Amino acid sequence: LQVKYESQRKILQMLASRLEEVGIDMQKPGGLCCPLRPVVPSPIINGYRNKSTFSVNRGPDGNPKTVGLYVGTGRARNIVCVKANHMENIPPKHKQVAQCYEEFIRRSPLDPCILFHEGGHWRELVVRTTSHGHTMAIITFHPQELGQEALATQKALLKEFFTCGPGKVCALTSLYFQESTMTRCSHEQSPFQLLHGEPHIFEEVLGLKFRISPDAFFQVNSGGAEVLYQAVGELSQAGRDTILLDICCGTGEQWLCTIGLSLAHQVAKIIGIEVVEKAIEDARWNAAFNGISNCEFHSGRAEAVLPRLLSSWEDARPLVAVVNPSRAGLHYRVVRAIRNCASIRRLLYVSCKPEGEAMRNFLELCCPPDQGKKLAGKPFAPTLAIPFDMFPHTVHCELVLLFTR
Q: What is the pLDDT of residue 250?
A: 47
Residue 228 phi/psi, 5° resolution?
-65, -50
Domain boundary assignment for the chain: 1-43+221-404, 51-198
- Say yes or no to pLDDT of 88 above 80: yes
The percentage of the chain sitting over the pLDDT mark of 90, rounded to a whole number, equals 71
pLDDT tens, residue by residue, 112-163: 999 888 999 999 999 999 999 999 999 999 999 999 999 999 999 999 999 9
Rounded CA separation 302/26 (Å) = 29
Q: Which of 192, 182, 54, 63 lies closest to 115 in space, CA to CA? A: 182
Planar angle of CA 216, 384, 370, nearest 5 degrees: 85
Q: Is 2 annotated as a binding residue?
A: no
Q: Is 13 annotated as a binding residue?
A: no
Q: Distances from the Cα of 312 to the Cαs of 15, 315, 339, in angstroms?
A: 32, 9, 14
Lowest mean pLDDT, pick from 43-47, 373-377, 392-396? 373-377
- Say yes or no to pLDDT of 40 above 50: yes
Q: Do domains 1-43+221-404 and 51-198 have the same CATH topology?
A: no
Residue 124's region, left for phi above 0, alpha for psi from -120 to 50, else beta, is beta
- Say yes or no to pLDDT of 100 above 50: yes
Query: Given 3-state DSSP classes, what are the helix, strand and coil percentages for the chain, each rounded to the nearest 5?
Result: 30, 25, 40
The average pLDDT across 235-264 equals 78
Q: What is the pLDDT of residue 253?
A: 43
- Residues recognised as catalytic: 352
H/E element holding 141?
A: strand 135-141
pLDDT tens, residue by residue, 324-363: 888 888 899 999 999 999 999 999 999 989 998 899 999 9
Q: What is the pLDDT of residue 361?
A: 94
Q: What is the pLDDT of residue 120?
A: 95
Q: Is 294 annotated as a binding residue?
A: no
Q: Exposed, middle or buried: residue 188 (CB in 10 Å: 0-12, 13-18, 19+)?
A: exposed
Assigned superfamily of 1-43+221-404: Vaccinia Virus protein VP39 (3.40.50.150)
- Say yes or no to pLDDT of 71 above 70: yes
pLDDT tens, residue by residue, 162-210: 999 999 999 999 999 999 888 777 777 789 999 999 999 999 999 999 9
The percentage of the chain sitting over the pLDDT mark of 70, rounded to a whole number, equals 98
Q: What is the pLDDT of residue 187?
A: 75
The average pLDDT across 365-393 equals 93
On whether the 51-198 domain is CATH 3.90.1150.10, my answer is: no
- Do strands 208-212 and 201-205 pair parallel, antiparallel, or not at all (unpaired)? antiparallel
In terms of pLDDT, which residue wins out, 39 or 247? Answer: 39
- Say yes or no to pLDDT of 276 above 80: no
- Say yes or no to pLDDT of 254 above 50: no
pLDDT tens, residue by residue, 221-246: 999 999 999 999 999 999 999 999 98
